[in-house]
């Protein structure tokens, strides 16, 4: 049992207990969790190991790839532009990205991109990792391809393409890729330790992603049953912990999946939504814009990941609603985003709660990892 570091308010002792049990009972290797209530930290804990060989301890400032938990901060970039009147979420994407109108996509709306309803869950033609790291090429192929289903009618999780689709709209308007836009507008001014991609000077403090062989086998069996659209979303190209540990992945701009940060940073970014657009006294979004982020776009069985949930799910404009699955606690209008293998960002404006959970031992699922759910349940039990 590793030593747990950090602080936890007495009222939230159950969070520390759940965090400790993750190590004792749920095969945690290295991890951190931060909980904010009304912007103030009530739990900020870390422990374990930053590498599989257990030669580096997880420290307060350890960074880790958080996979799709990155999508929430990427969506914030688009919502900032919308809040300033520079982006109309109801407008056709082609208004900002003319080439996107090809192959019958002239009626796809910006809100369809944000809610995984554009039909572009993945590319139809084979797309290599080297090609994925080429922003211009990936966006050009997305602009040229046809949708997998009628846009706007239902959701199909855009595992990797999401960041390029939303990110290219951000770039067309602002002239900046999402990573730099986020740095200038949010993380830099607020001192939030989060980047899309990993700066070379920070490689010394990044955790190694690890996945046990039984978990890899279970995941492979699950992926073998996927429909073509899900294969395109999740496996074209194939990523995973081995890829994410490479310098090439870390150096790339993949705004759907290669955000690197601490639990504290994730809690702060999702805390903007929990604070109805404000964090630490600084307004990032108007209250109206922050509320717009969690506007549900219609519940359905998602075409890519629907089989992994007990009920239909509903995606809002860049985040998932907690809904009947209680993925982000008992408030059905709480929102958040999970990353492959376990990480999570959560925002609940009604209770003022924000949570960030990051780890390096990847579980088998795409969402609702048992370690994350134990922490979420502990937070709400303490309120």
Give start and end residues of each alpha helix (H) in the chain.
Answer: 13-25, 71-83, 110-114, 129-132, 135-144, 161-174, 178-182, 188-190, 213-223, 228-235, 241-244, 247-251, 263-274, 287-293, 370-382
DSSP structure string for 317-334: SSSEE-GGGTBTBS-TT-
Backbone angles phi, psi at 92, to 5 degrees: -65, 140
Give the active site residue among 68, 115, 155, 268.
Answer: 68
68 an active-site residue?
A: yes
Query: What is the distance of C-alpha 273 from the center of its chain?
Result: 14
For residues 276 and 290, is the Cβ–Cβ distance under 8 A?
yes
Distances, alpha carbon 38 to alpha carbons 8, 98, 202, 351, in Å: 15, 42, 30, 8
DSSP structure string for 176-193: S-HHHHHIIIIIHHHT--
- Which residues, listed in sequence order, are joined to residue 337 by a DSSP beta bridge? 345
Return d(Cα 336, Cα 375) in angstroms, integer.
14
| Residues with active-site annotation | 68
């Amino acid at each position: 049992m590793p030593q747990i570091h950090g602080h936890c308010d007495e009222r939230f002792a159950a969070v520390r207990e759940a965090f400790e049990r993750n190590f004792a009972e749920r095969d945690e290797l290295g991890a951190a969790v931060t909980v904010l209530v009304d912007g103030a930290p009530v739990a900020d804990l870390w422990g374990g190991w930053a590498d599989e060989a257990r030669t580096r301890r997880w420290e307060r400032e350890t960074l880790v790839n958080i996979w799709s938990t990155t999508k929430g901060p990427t969506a914030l970039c688009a919502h900032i532009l919308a809040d300033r009147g520079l982006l109309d979420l109801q407008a056709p994407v082609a208004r900002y990205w003319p080439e996107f109108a090809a192959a019958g996509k002239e009626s796809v709306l910006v809100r369809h991109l944000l809610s995984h309803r554009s039909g572009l869950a993945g590319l139809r033609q084979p797309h290599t990792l080297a090609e994925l790291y080429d922003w211009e090429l990936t966006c050009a192929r997305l602009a040229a391809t046809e949708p997998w289903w009628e846009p706007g009618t239902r959701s199909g999780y855009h595992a990797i393409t999401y960041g390029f689709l939303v990110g290219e709209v951000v770039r067309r308007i602002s002239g900046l890729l999402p990573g730099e836009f986020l740095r200038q507008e949010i993380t830099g001014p607020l001192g939030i330790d989060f980047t899309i991609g990993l700066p070379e000077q920070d490689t010394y403090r990044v955790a190694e992603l690890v996945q046990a062989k039984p978990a890899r086998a279970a995941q492979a069996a699950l992926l073998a049953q996927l429909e073509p659209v899900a294969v395109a979303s999740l496996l074209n190209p194939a990523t995973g912990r081995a890829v994410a540990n490479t310098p090439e992945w870390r150096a790339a701009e993949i705004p759907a999946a290669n955000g690197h940060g601490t639990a504290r940073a994730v809690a702060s970014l999702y805390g903007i939504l929990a604070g109805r657009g404000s964090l630490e006294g600084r307004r990032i979004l108007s209250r109206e814009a922050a509320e717009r982020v969690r506007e549900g776009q219609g519940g359905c069985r998602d075409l890519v990941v629907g089989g992994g949930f007990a009920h239909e799910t509903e995606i809002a404009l860049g985040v998932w609603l907690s809904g009947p699955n209680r993925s982000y606690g008992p408030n059905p209008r709480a929102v958040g985003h999970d990353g492959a293998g376990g990480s999570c960002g959560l925002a609940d404006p009604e209770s003022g709660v924000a949570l960030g959970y990051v780890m390096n031992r990847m579980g088998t699922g795409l969402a609702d990892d048992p370690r994350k759910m134990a922490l979420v349940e502990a937070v709400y039990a303490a309120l």
